[in-house]
């Protein structure tokens, strides 16, 4: 990922950090705050200039359930506040990112157009269950608990890290967080280690960890920058992106841990898991998958053996 790309795609995050001095309290709204597209939930065209494209595979496309194939398109829900997996482009309308490029390419192999729509992270899985969305691609960690509700196809892996103000909390491991406040995105699993550690803090006679949920990652970033929380937890690639955008105000601290797979979420037992897995394997074999990860600077998260429901915890 070039320096030009980093600078041009991080305007929203920079504005969030700059606004911290004016907004010490945040997280009251359940809607995303990045742009008008976030407010409306409207679909955006993911075929932006410079996109890496794929070609239809007739054999794989033939395995798509007829009900879905007849529509010719997929409605893919994502929370576009989580760079570099998903974010809004400079126009404030187009959703882009690693997940968008990969989801678009998977759709192309299947002969389907992928229409990405912005949604609150915690609303995506319920939206899949209700039929509102066909797929969910939003840096979901594939967990055994989530697999009870939806199916996943794993496509990436990432660890968890901490982010704090540059002159703020210094954490090496989660054991250093006793007595601190941690922010995380509502519906995510990012703060689970802190919540578990809080009981250990109490057992050791130390102050507990206070975990505070916010509606999206932009609100989490603002809470850290404003001092509303001492630190935040999220996936390492996202926090590295946010720290770079902050002009030195925020920094990733400690060491990345708890590496786990991302999964593309699919309504339970609807027949799409195997076609998506096959499409992903084709993209891995022909180099498209590697090219997309390289474009977004996340090569280190590549996997070689995608699975249906590959949760490790």
Give per-residue pLDDT as tens, 67-82: 999 999 999 999 999 9
Amino acid 37: pLDDT: 38
Domains annotated on the chain, with CATH: 3-158+260-301 (3.40.190.10), 159-259 (3.40.190.10)
Amino acid 50: pLDDT: 66
Distance of alpha carbon 126 from the chain centroid: 17
Distance of alpha carbon 221 from the chain centroid: 14
Give per-residue pLDDT as tens, 68-126: 999 999 999 999 999 999 999 999 999 999 999 999 999 999 999 999 999 999 999 99
From the CB of residue 63, how many other CB atoms can be counted at a distance below 10 Å? 16
| Residue 44 pLDDT > 70 | no
CA 92 vs CA 144, 233, 304: distances in Å: 35, 26, 34
Give per-residue pLDDT as tens, 152-165: 999 999 999 999 99
What is the pTM for the complete model shown?
A: 0.84
CA 5 vs CA 50, 101, 104: distances in Å: 12, 15, 20
Return the structure tokens found at 190.
Answer: 């990012």
Return the structure tokens found at 91.
Answer: 């126009």
DSSP letter for 271, please.
S
Give per-residue pLDDT as tens, 210-256: 999 999 999 999 999 999 999 999 999 999 999 999 999 999 999 99
User: For the stretch 68-80, what's the b/e string if a residue is b when 16 or more beta carbons lie within 10 angstroms of its beta carbon?
Assistant: beeeeebbbbbbb
In contact, 196 and 163? CB cutoff 8 Å: no
User: How far, in Å, CA of 180 to CA of 149, rounded?
Assistant: 33
Which residue matches tokens 């997929």? 74
| Residue 58 pLDDT > 70 | yes
| Residue 13 pLDDT > 50 | no
Return the structure tokens found at 313.
Answer: 């915890």
Indicate the average pLDDT of the chain.
Answer: 87
CA 181 vs CA 75, 117, 153, 174, 228: distances in Å: 36, 32, 34, 12, 8
DSSP letter for 208, please.
P
- Average pLDDT over every residue of 25-34: 30
From the CB of residue 299, how many other CB atoms can be counted at a distance below 10 Å? 11
Helices 288-295 and 273-286: crossing angle in degrees, nearest 10, is 80
Q: Pick the residue with more confidence: 15 or 62?
A: 62
Return the structure tokens found at 257.
Answer: 């841990």
Amino acid 266: pLDDT: 98
């Amino acid at each position: 990922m070039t320096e030009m790309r980093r600078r041009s795609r991080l305007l929203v995050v920079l504005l969030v950090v700059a606004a911290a001095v004016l907004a010490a309290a945040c997280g009251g709204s359940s809607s995303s705050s990045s742009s008008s597209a976030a407010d409306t939930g409207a679909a955006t065209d993911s075929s932006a200039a410079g996109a890496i494209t794929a070609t239809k595979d007739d054999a794989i496309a033939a395995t798509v359930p007829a009900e879905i194939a007849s529509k010719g398109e997929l409605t893919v829900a994502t929370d576009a506040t989580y760079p570099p997996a998903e974010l809004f482009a400079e126009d404030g309308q187009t959703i882009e990112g690693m997940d968008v490029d990969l989801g678009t390419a998977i759709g192309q192999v299947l002969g389907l157009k992928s229409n990405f729509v912005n949604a609150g992270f915690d609303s995506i899985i319920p939206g899949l269950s209700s039929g509102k969305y066909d797929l969910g691609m939003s840096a979901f960690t594939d967990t055994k608990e989530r697999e009870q509700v939806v199916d996943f196809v794993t496509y990436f892996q990432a660890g968890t890290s901490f982010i704090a103000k540059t002159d703020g909390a210094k954490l090496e491991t989660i054991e250093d967080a006793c007595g601190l406040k941690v922010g995380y995105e509502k519906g995510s699993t990012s703060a689970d280690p802190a919540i578990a550690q809080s009981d250990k803090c109490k057992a050791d006679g130390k102050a507990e960890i206070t975990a505070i949920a916010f509606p999206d990652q932009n609100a989490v970033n603002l809470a850290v920058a404003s001092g509303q929380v001492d630190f935040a937890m999220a996936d390492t690639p996202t926090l590295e992106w946010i720290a770079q955008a902050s002009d030195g105000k925020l920094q990733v601290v400690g060491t990345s841990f708890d590496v786990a797979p991302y999964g593309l979420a699919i309504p339970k037992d609807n027949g799409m898991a195997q076609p998506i897995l096959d499409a992903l394997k084709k993209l891995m074999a022909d180099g498209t998958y590697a090219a997309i990860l390289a474009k977004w600077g996340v090569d280190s998260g590549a996997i070689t053996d995608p699975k249906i429901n590959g949760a490790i915890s």
